[in-house]
Every structure is written in structure tokens, then in C-alpha cells.
């Protein structure tokens, strides 16, 4: 149930932004803003497709079950394509550091695991 106007999806997206911010700040403190770019891009690569998926599902809120399931599959497919496209574009960035990039990406995705534990 929504609490104080936030849905579960809204809470997950908010927590993703928070964890991305923490990881990026950690890399910025440890190595400057240049080293924070890779984890920022990694976090963005996880967050934007999730936001797309959430918005797509939200639009079908009052539809029948078949339309919701179809939207779910279309949203998940779009999310995968968007993730692949973002990774393709990010790998064009010069001086990209792979491990920090994956750290930001995995940190944002780990929010789902923590959300399951909190329920």
C-alpha cells in the first residue's frame, strides 16, 4: 500500500537515486570528479531503464489483466533494449573505467534485493 504518497516502485527508484549518489560521492572523494564519472554512468544505466519500466507499467494501472501483462512484457523488452543501448553509448566515452562503472551499475541494481528484504 502507498505510504505518504509513495508507491513501492517510487521508493525503489528513490533508493536507487540515493545509492547512486552515495557511490558516486565515494568515488569523487577517493579520486576526484573524474573517477566519479564511471560509477555515475553505471548507475544511470541501471536507473533510466527502471524508470522507463515503472512509467510504462504505471500507464496500465486501470486496464484489464491481459493489457497489464502485455505492457509488462513490452516494458521489460524495452528495458533490456534501453540498457544495451546505454551500455553501447557509454562504452564510447574515452577514459572510462570498467570496474567503477560496474560498481555503480551493481549498486543501483542491489536496491531490488534490499527492497525484498525490507518487505
Angle between helices 33-58 and 65-90 (to 10 degrees): 160
Q: What is the pLDDT along the chain (119 residues), one digit of tens a residue?
A: 444 556 888 888 999 999 999 999 999 999 888 889 999 999 999 999 999 999 988 888 888 888 888 888 998 999 999 999 999 999 999 989 999 999 999 999 999 888 777 66
Rounded Cα gap, residues 98 and 91, in angstroms: 9
What's residue 119's pLDDT? Answer: 61
For the chain, the structural domain boundaries read 8-118
What's residue 70's pLDDT? Answer: 86
Q: Answer for the pair 107, 19: CB distance below 8 angstroms, yes or no.
A: yes
Amino acid at each position: 500500500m502507498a505510504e505518504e504518497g509513495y508507491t513501492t516502485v517510487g521508493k525503489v527508484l528513490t533508493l536507487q537515486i540515493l545509492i547512486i549518489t552515495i557511490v558516486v560521492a565515494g568515488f569523487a572523494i577517493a579520486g576526484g570528479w573524474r573517477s566519479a564519472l564511471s560509477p555515475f554512468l553505471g548507475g544511470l544505466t541501471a536507473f533510466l531503464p527502471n524508470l522507463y519500466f515503472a512509467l510504462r507499467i504505471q500507464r496500465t494501472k486501470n486496464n484489464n489483466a491481459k493489457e497489464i501483462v502485455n505492457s509488462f512484457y513490452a516494458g521489460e523488452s524495452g528495458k533490456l533494449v534501453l540498457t544495451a543501448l546505454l551500455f553501447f553509448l557509454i562504452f564510447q566515452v574515452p577514459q572510462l573505467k570498467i570496474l567503477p562503472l560496474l560498481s555503480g551499475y551493481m549498486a543501483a541494481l542491489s536496491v531490488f534485493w534490499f527492497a525484498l528484504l525490507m518487505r
